[in-house]
Amino acid sequence: MKLIVGLGNPGAKYARNRHNIGFMAVEQMAADHGFGPWKSKHQGSISEGRFGSTRAVLLRPETFMNKSGDSVAAAMRFYKLEPEDVVVLHDELDLAPGKVKYKMGGGHAGHNGLRSIHSHLGPDYGRVRLGIGHPGHKDRVAGYVLNDFAKAEADWLDDVMRGLSDGAPYLAEGDNAKFMNAVSLRTAPPRPSTGTKGPKKAPSPASTPKAEPPAEDTAALSPLQRLMDRFK
């Protein structure tokens, strides 16, 4: 069983913030895979269901970002899980918009949600880093992550959400290579080959050489006709 956690802040005013991309991801998974209704539990909202034969719990901590670990730890204790059974989806400033990376363990890189989770679980849990880009200066980070995604970002955001949902069964199984492949098929689909030649075009009437008239059979001419031809 996996506990799949999407990070964000609770409340309608934060719903489309860049910081809430983790919430958006688990909501997409729940909707696409027929999970149960969201219920208030473990200082958050949970939705339970299965990806094929694999049971999973989706969690949105509702403690605000910097207390996310309180909710994650409560859910872990209830379901008797270990840190390696937990995967956290979160926004990542150091990845370009639309880029997705999976990693197991490592630091929190200053992310307040991960910092809180580290304080309860330690570093040995999985995380899916969802690139949102960087505003260019550290003083602009807070305003950037707490602003909504721009309309111009809608296409890549939709591709990422659908890719994460496509790959969710593999994420629950622990097959991270197949998970990333499913995401890539949405976010960076293979280009059609340009090396094959198309069918040859039929020659146009203007370019088709005209047939020569058949040569006259001189052997069939009489001696008088052949003599007359010499003086034409």
What would the pLDDT profile of 208-222 be if each residue is shown by its tens digit? Answer: 555 555 555 555 556
Identify the active-site residue in 19, 33, 42, 111: 19
pLDDT score for 65: 97
Region 9-26 average pLDDT:
97
pLDDT score for 34: 97
Spatial separation of the C-alpha atoms in residues 117 and 120, rounded to whole Å: 5
Q: Taking the C-alpha atoms of 9, 15, 21 and 22 in order, what is their torsion angle to the nearest 10 degrees?
A: 50
Active site residue 42: no
Instruction: Tell me the pLDDT band of 190, cut-offs 50, 70 and 90.
Output: confident
pLDDT score for 192: 74
CA-nearest of 77, 76, 78, 41 to 60 is 41
What would the pLDDT profile of 62-105 be if each residue is shown by its tens digit? Answer: 999 999 999 999 999 999 999 999 999 999 999 999 999 999 99
Region 138-143 average pLDDT:
95
pLDDT score for 227: 56
CA-nearest of 57, 62, 54 to 178 is 54
Other beta carbons less than 10 A from residue 121's beta carbon: 20
Architecture of domain 2-187: 3-Layer(aba) Sandwich (3.40)
CA-nearest of 148, 140, 138, 114 to 19 is 148
